[in-house]
Amino acid sequence: MAGGRCGACALWNRRMGGVRPAPLWRFILPLGLGLPDTAGERELAGRRGRHVPAAGVGASPGLHLGDPERRRELRQQQEPAAALVLETLSGKPTEERKMMPEVPGLKPANPPVLPAPQKADASPAFSKMLPQRPRKHFRRGPPHLQIRAPNTDSKAGTQGDTKERAAAPGDAHQKENTQRTIISWRGAVIEPEQGTGLPLRRAEAPAKPSPLVTRIQKEPALLNERQEGVIEAFRHAWKGYRQFAWGHDELRPVSRSFSEWFGLGLTLIDALDTMWILGLKQEFEEARTWVSQKLNFKKDVDVNLFESTIRILGGLLSTYHLSGDRLFLRKAKDFGNRLMPAFMTPSKIPYSDVNIGTGVAHPPQWTSDSTVSEVTSIQLEFRELSRLTGVKKFQEAAEEVTRHVHHLSGKKDGLVPMFINTHSGSFTHLGVFTLGARADSYYEYLLKQWIQGGKQETQLLEDYLAAIEGIKTHLVRHSEPNKLTFIGELTHDRFSAKMDHLVCFLPGTLALGVHHGLPADHMELARALMETCYQMNRQMETGLSPEIVHFNLYPPTDNLDVKVKPADRHNLLRPETVESLFYLYRTTGDRKYQDWGWEILQSFNKYTRVPSGGYTSINNVQNPHKPEPRDKMESFFLGETLKYLYLLFSDDQNLLSLDTYVFNTEAHPLPIWALS
């Protein structure tokens, strides 16, 4: 989601001079006073499926795990479990490993630039689930599919990892502009601070490994004027990133500098598959060179499990599927291994943060909670990593979380609280229910895991259907004077008419479910909510939605359905509305959704475009004369917003078909596991 729509995670804490102050909302929620009511408070609280990273100095140099003295020192300082992880991380570089892709039922994106992987038979299924009758577009087959490991001895490949171009755009300039930022839910900025193992377990080799298929499209598909407009916008955004922020996490377009979050080239990785889909071969190959030569996960830096999974792991996996280039799969496997210490908790509910260099995972200093969306919105990626590599631990760890949450008490007709304790494994802050920050993508991933697994895992479907009924019962209301359908929040049975822009993921999710055979009345709700999300943009003077709106439950004097508090007037270039427009157009064919998306793109161009390159978030969507640039281009603008706009404007239903791919919450397409 931003991808559109991700949602939910515990405050992500970063080093900040050694001080980690607890935000005000941490003391409000336990008192039962409800959710933070403004975007300013919400930014402290975090963002939909996105966490709050803490600010700090730049990442320190990579830890030399091979040094015996250093390893002994770490063993003395850390818990035995962390020391075990340290041993695991000290093995041979995974770059030396050769992997053969196994991709079931894959149909490459229409403008491929590099060879596409071959179809293969293999998919894991969620254990002990009753099979569903497959829809007509699925091939019939057994409910439980075997994971087939890649042929690690094969030398086949689409591109070599050597002889890469050494040029790194903007490096000299960027060394003078290192910064770290505190980011809340999926990128909401708080304040920038200046500053500058053992070998992996091999699965059994398949009896008949499949070689890579080399398929190159000689003539690119014809593009319409609106798709060309998206490509031009992407190139303008990329121009700013390439010139002023190359290899860094995010562009600050106004100051022509950059900010760091993880220090892993976040925007570049998030945008890889977008460049592939848009057919930007030169930009893609230059970015691939950076990944091959510069992307190094062996560094002493904390990453948020959720955010790094959906953006980095998801981005690498989807780019591998679209390009067939095993470089991205090797990087994905390396990164996935470095995230695994997060699951080493008493309850197996993962910690919010993990150091990918030292293998030490931890919650924020002020709490042992993780957010529900954070821990339940990593499954698509970890499951797919297991399916591709044959290493089952990724899928097993992620699915154990899903099973655990399924059996927890504290739900309300399928709705879940926002927090879960990593020690006890129980929900905390009971009685607070929202589809905004910290909970949204839980519901999204219930449906998408069911689709990903070939519709075999009925427990996921049952939880999703129950949640939709709970939403209808407790959270759906209608505004005045125009009777717009909206989703509010519930705090100890007290209803609030507050709706995050993040909630605009829901129309698209509902439509996707209907496309895959779920009840037709879900589409009625999807259409109504889509109208509301459009009006959240249209009723603003800039044509861009604010972060949060409050709907009028009684007739207002100004004939508007929404009111916006001063702290909520900002726009972060979020994807949720255009994401849902994409799904609604794909499932209904109604061209008004394309027109609405075009209006939004024009508003982005008019009020957020920076002449020197890039787009910026703005502070005030209600003042077209002074929108107040915030000087930040989130990675999801390239990874999600522009990608969904491009797909929305395409009339080719086979371009990332909804019957072939499922998008993660950062808009990275992963293949549906076909039944053979």
Any idea which residues carry the catalytic annotation?
307, 440, 547, 576
Helix (H) or strand (E) segment spanning residue 670: strand 669-671
| Residue 167 phi, psi dihedral angles, 5° rounding | -65, 135
Q: Among candidates 531, 536, 473, 474, which has minimal Cα distance to 500?
A: 536
Helix or strand or coil: residue 646?
helix
Number of residues that this document lists for the chain = 676
Q: State the maximum Cα–Cα separation within the chain, in Å, rounded to a whole number.
A: 73
Provide the sign of the torsion angle of the four alpha carbons 119, 122, 125, 131, taken in this order: positive
Residues 472, 267: Cα–Cα separation, whole Å: 37
The token pair that represents 497 in the structure block: 């008419």
Residues 360, 357: Cα–Cα separation, whole Å: 8
The answer to whether the annotation marks 665 as part of a ligand binding site is yes
Q: Among candidates 524, 668, 628, 601, which has minimal Cα distance to 2?
A: 668
Q: Among candidates 379, 438, 446, which has minimal Cα distance to 51?
A: 438
CB count in 10 Å sphere of residue 633:
30
CB count in 10 Å sphere of residue 175:
9
Q: Among candidates 454, 505, 388, which has minimal Cα distance to 659?
A: 454
Helix (H) or strand (E) segment spanning residue 190: strand 189-194
DSSP letter at 260 equals: B
DSSP string, 551-617: E-SS--SSS-SEE--GGG--B----HHHHHHHHHHHHH--THHHHHHHHHHHHHHHHTB-TTS-B--
- Residue 435 contacts by C-beta under 8 Å, 6 or more apart in sequence? 443, 471, 475, 487, 489, 500, 502, 503, 506
Which residue positions form the known binding site for Ca(2+)?
665
